[in-house]
Structure 1
Amino acid sequence: MRPAGTLASLLAVLAMGACALVPGPSTIRAFEVPAACPVSTSGFRANDGLMRSRAALRAGALTILAVGSSSIEGVGASQPERGYVPLVQAGLRDAFPDARITVINRGIGGETTADTVTRLQAEIDAARPHLVIWQLGTNDMLRDLTLARVVSDFDRGRDILDAAGVDVVLIDPQRLPEDTDNDGFRGRNTLLAGVAGTIAYLGTREGYAVDPRFGPMSGWTGLEGGGVGPDDLHLNDSGYACWAANTVAGLGKALR
């Protein structure tokens, strides 16, 4: 269920925040969460894993590093400002106006879990974050890697994250259109659902927060293309808007 006032507040959050992202004539004057987007905090699981981030907010500054593949990078958005990371940053800044919040976008399209792990230490060293958002699993399944391989690669990443002393939010894969004409995508949702379930388990096991995407996307039928662009893989503007709105709602509540 959508908490009372959540959607209205997020409309204001993202409208004001997006307008501040890019100066000059290209500035987006208004940004709205699509009316058909179901915004809820019920799916977000903190798993007692955000203590450092809460402390950072109380101290007045929170740095978030977002890693993963094309969804984090923002592939499919009509403008960079309409991608996931800029919208989450805008929303969190408005939700916590007394804190300096920075969300660093280090998504690279096409990456597998192993690819992200390879550069994870360097990204953490450069960003010095309190919180790492890690989106994973989609490309592993599209390349026919096994769940066991995903877990093994995740465990190597976990060792890096834990040694760095950061909080973690895990994000699972996107849902693909069931009616896709792409032979490489057809039937993949069963595999992606397995990854989503595994990520939920890993979050509980490690005490990492989990922000689900695969499951909630089944309720995005009212969005243009179900929130997915014409390539049947990457999110479109409405998909990024809905995803960001749910992250701001769930993570924002968990950080209070």
Structure 2
Amino acid sequence: MRAAGTLASLLGVLAMGACAPIPGPSHIQAFDVPAACPVSASSFEANDGLEHSRTALRAGSLTILAVGSSSIEGVGASRPELGYVPLVETGLREAFPAARITVINRGIGGETTADTVNRLQTEIDAARPDLVIWQLGTNDMLRDLTLARVVSDFERGRDILDAAGVDVVLIDPQRLPEDTDNDGFRGRNSLLAGVSGTIAWLGAREGYAVDPRFDPMSGWSDLEGGGVGPDDLHLNDAGYACWAANTVAGLGEALR
């Protein structure tokens, strides 16, 4: 039995090392990354988290649950497989070919932070993930909820996540076009920036990884529509591909 255990451990280590180069614009072959997309792992903050996920990956299997609102669901993509979650799954499988990686999409359009937290335990019980990707904050600001409310709802979610013993990656809101004609969106970027900064602070405080989106989107000006579709809210195919590429680069490096 000891020999079998030693062999299993060795195989786990070998599986962890059998991965592609750290993904960058020229390394991601699993999906098309727009040439104008600035791909970098540098903005991803692991915050000393992800150890459970690294252990799962070494054992050969990593299950990720993605929760949040419409950008997790994939609204705006021309085909379901071009949304964020399918692309992240494809990219991580390419980066770690020796492991079985599953990313479960449980995004629901229009949700606030509270809405996601209210179903979080049920989703965790069903998926039994090693890692939860949680996108939050956009709809809260579009509905004029306060930062204090976002933090309070986040802390309810934190208690559920910590009790489940899972790793967490937080994703902040997207940036809206500054020249939008939508009166409900105009001027909202200052509020979304505030949520983004708060999420970065919460991630550092709780030891959750943070995969920022708001600030990196300022460098997407050469993407079609700046990565945002004609409704000035949901990402288009180029935006989803660029966002997913950055997640694969940052999370992939952190998991090593």
- Give the structure-1-normalised TM-score: 0.91
How far apart, CA to CA, are the structure 2 residues paired with 1:41 and 1:127? 27
**2:176 paired with 1:172:** no
Measured after TM superposition, the shift of residue 217 of structure 1 is 0.1
Give the 3-state SS of the residue equivalent to 1:9 in structure 2.
coil
Give aligned pairs, total: 236
Alignment of 1:195-210 (within 5 A): 195-210=195-210
Contact 2:22/2:253 (8 A) holds in 1: no
Q: Of the candidates 30, 34, 37, which is equivalent to residue 13 of structure 1? A: 30
Partner of 1:88: 88
Partner of 1:183: 183
**2:226 paired with 1:251:** no
In structure 2, the gaps of 5 or more residues are: 1-20
Measured after TM superposition, the shift of residue 7 of structure 1 is 1.0
Contact 2:23/2:249 (8 A) holds in 1: no
How far apart, CA to CA, are the structure 2 residues paired with 1:243 and 1:174? 10
Change (3 A) 1:131 1:4: closer
Measured after TM superposition, the shift of residue 13 of structure 1 is 2.7
Q: Deviations over 1:119-167 (max 9, x none)?
A: 0000000000000000000000000000000000000000000000000
How far apart, CA to CA, are the structure 1 residues paired with 2:171 and 2:71? 10
How far apart, CA to CA, are the structure 2 residues paired with 1:190 and 1:49? 29
Give the 3-state SS of the residue equivalent to 1:243 in structure 2.
helix
**2:231 paired with 1:231:** yes
Partner of 1:65: 65
Identity percentage of aligned residues: 84
Greater C-alpha radius of gyration: 2
Alignment of 1:66-215 (within 5 A): 66-215=66-215
Give the 3-state SS of the residue equivalent to 1:46 in structure 2.
coil
How far apart, CA to CA, are the structure 1 residues paired with 2:242 and 2:215? 13
Contact 1:13/1:95 (8 A) holds in 2: no
How far apart, CA to CA, are the structure 2 residues paired with 1:41 and 1:68? 22
Partner of 1:17: none
How far apart, CA to CA, are the structure 1 residues paired with 2:239 and 2:181? 20
How far apart, CA to CA, are the structure 2 residues paired with 1:102 and 1:206? 25
Measured after TM superposition, the shift of residue 82 of structure 1 is 0.2
How far apart, CA to CA, are the structure 2 residues paired with 1:118 and 1:213? 24
How far apart, CA to CA, are the structure 2 residues paired with 1:253 and 1:46? 10
Q: Deviations over 1:189-248 (max 9, x none)?
A: 000000000000000000000000000000000000000000000000000000000000
Give the 3-state SS of the residue equivalent to 1:7 in structure 2.
coil
How far apart, CA to CA, are the structure 2 residues paired with 1:4 and 1:251? 10
How far apart, CA to CA, are the structure 1 residues paired with 2:183 and 2:24? 39
How far apart, CA to CA, are the structure 1 residues paired with 2:120 and 2:184? 29
Alignment of 1:33-48 (within 5 A): 33-48=33-48
Q: 4+ runs of 1 displaced by more than 4 Å?
A: none
Contact 2:22/2:252 (8 A) holds in 1: no
- Give the structure-2-normalised TM-score: 0.91
Give the 3-state SS of the residue equivalent to 2:52 in structure 1.
helix
Measured after TM superposition, the shift of residue 4 of structure 1 is 8.7
Measured after TM superposition, the shift of residue 6 of structure 1 is 1.7
The letter of the residue matching 2:55 is A
Give the 3-state SS of the residue equivalent to 1:197 in structure 2.
helix
Contact 1:72/1:107 (8 A) holds in 2: yes
In structure 1, the gaps of 5 or more residues are: 15-31
